[in-house]
Amino acid sequence: MTIDVFLTRTAAFLPFSPVSNEDIEEVLGRIGGKASRARRLILRSNGIQSRHYAIDRATGQLAMTNAQLTASAIRGLGDDIGPVDCLATGTSLPDQLMPNHAVMVHGELGWPRLEVVACAGICLAGTAALKHAWLSVRSGDARRAVATGSELASAVMRGSRFEAELEHKLEALEERPELAFEKDFLRWMLSDGAGAVLLEHEPRGPLSLRIDWIDLSSAAHELPVCMYAGADKNADGGLDGWARTDAADWHRDSTFAVKQDVRLLNDNIVRATLAEPLAAVIEKRGLKAQDIDWFLPHLSSNYFVEPVSRCLDAIGFSIPRERWFSNLARKGNTGSASPYIMLDELFRSGRIQPGHKLLMFVPESGRFSSGFIYMEAV
């Protein structure tokens, strides 16, 4: 026997005041004292107007940890949520390799003993955490669970992180500036934030969302790595992780910077994370586009709005744009936290009515994974 699971509260935490496009390079810092040649082009394409960084503008240093960001979001759920049996966290960039992110968040909260689980990955990490929390309540193992997504992208995006590599590769970069693009590109795409949700086996007024299913899938069996950190690509196209490289090279090669193969991304992201897996979900779940009142796509960039729309049309699952919801332009791309931050704004907006059905789409370009979450308002 399975138990209905209700998402009863949402919360988001975005550090400090919003950073505009004109101020972004002053906050993150320039590389080698030079303005980025790619910044304006990328910002014009991605459509992001403001975002948040956990950076103290006076010192240029990080003002909080990823665990502190996450704990702040959880506290936003309220101090009257009751005892929590399971805490599931997801993030791309925890503060340390060991111990895991979830136990560090638990330590920040100071809650009594409970099950804690950390999910790794990139954008899909928070969705995987949500599925673990959902299954815990659905099975009856937990009465109440909290799931989170969080990112402290600025930890690896500040200009000072790239100085050693710039000096080492100056001549090569002058001859072939595209070598730097895969890293510079993401500096204008990613930002900081955290979100949290409370799951229970009974609804709680005035609004709750019954989570009917969460489907996750990976296309790693057919596609190579596209987005990565803590590694470098080798001559065979595979990854050499940080543990297989000399420590002296980590700073010189910006080993821990987030990198992305933009061409591989553009060629495969829509097919591999939306068209094929959604077609499978439609067949498996009997899903119908006309039943969807709110479509919440996690978009890394406004650039992908039209490709996603065309893809939905092509597979016979057209959803009118007025039924889409995204806050990318104002909140930025916060990776695994983005779905939580997006849902929190819509949840609190008063626009969701009882009976509304929501479909959330969360793609990840790491090795092309995707997630779909289906909810109904009660």
3-class DSSP state of 19: strand
Mean pLDDT of the chain: 92
pLDDT level of residue 163 (50, 70, 90 thresholds): very low
193 and 221: one domain? no
In a domain, 345, yes or no: yes
pLDDT level of residue 165 (50, 70, 90 thresholds): very low
220 and 196: one domain? no
Determine the Cα–Cα distance for residues 121 and 91; give it in Å rounded to an integer.
Answer: 7
pLDDT number for residue 182: 54
In a domain, 246, yes or no: no
Determine the Cα–Cα distance for residues 100 and 204; give it in Å rounded to an integer.
Answer: 31
In a domain, 330, yes or no: yes
In order, the DSSP letters of 75-119 are HTT-TTS---SEEEEEESS-SSSSS-HHHHHHHHHTPPS-EEEEE
CB–CB of 188/39 below 8 Å? Answer: yes
* Residue 352 domain boundaries: 213-225+257-377
361 and 274: one domain? yes
pLDDT number for residue 159: 60
In a domain, 230, yes or no: no
Last residue of a domain, one of 170, 205, 240: 205
3-class DSSP state of 221: coil
In a domain, 61, yes or no: yes
Is 80 exceeded by the pLDDT of residue 91? yes
70 and 174: one domain? yes
171 and 65: one domain? yes
Of residues 167 and 136, more confidence is placed in 136
Tokens representing 311?
A: 């893809």
278 and 196: one domain? no
Tokens representing 247?
A: 């420590």
29 and 89: one domain? yes
pLDDT level of residue 32 (50, 70, 90 thresholds): low
pLDDT number for residue 161: 56
pTM of the model: 0.94
Nearest residue to 95 via CA among 129, 71, 124: 71
187 and 220: one domain? no
180 and 218: one domain? no
- Looking at residue 196, its amino acid is A
In a domain, 275, yes or no: yes
195 and 278: one domain? no
Mean pLDDT of 123-132: 98
Pick the range with the lowest mean pLDDT from 134-148, 162-176, 195-209, 244-258.
Answer: 162-176
- Looking at residue 156, its amino acid is V
Tally of domains within the chain: 2
pLDDT in tens, 267-325: 999 999 999 999 999 999 999 999 999 999 999 999 999 999 999 999 999 999 999 99
pLDDT in tens, 336-346: 999 999 999 99
pLDDT number for residue 186: 80
3-class DSSP state of 373: strand
Question: Dihedral through CA 302, CA 303, CA 308, CA 309, nearest 10?
Answer: 80
Of residues 29 and 125, more confidence is placed in 125
pLDDT number for residue 36: 79
Is 60 exceeded by the pLDDT of residue 175? no
In a domain, 15, yes or no: yes
13 and 43: one domain? yes
pLDDT number for residue 40: 85
Q: What is the CATH number of the domain that holds 95?
A: 3.40.47.10
110 and 195: one domain? yes
pLDDT level of residue 176 (50, 70, 90 thresholds): very low
In a domain, 252, yes or no: no
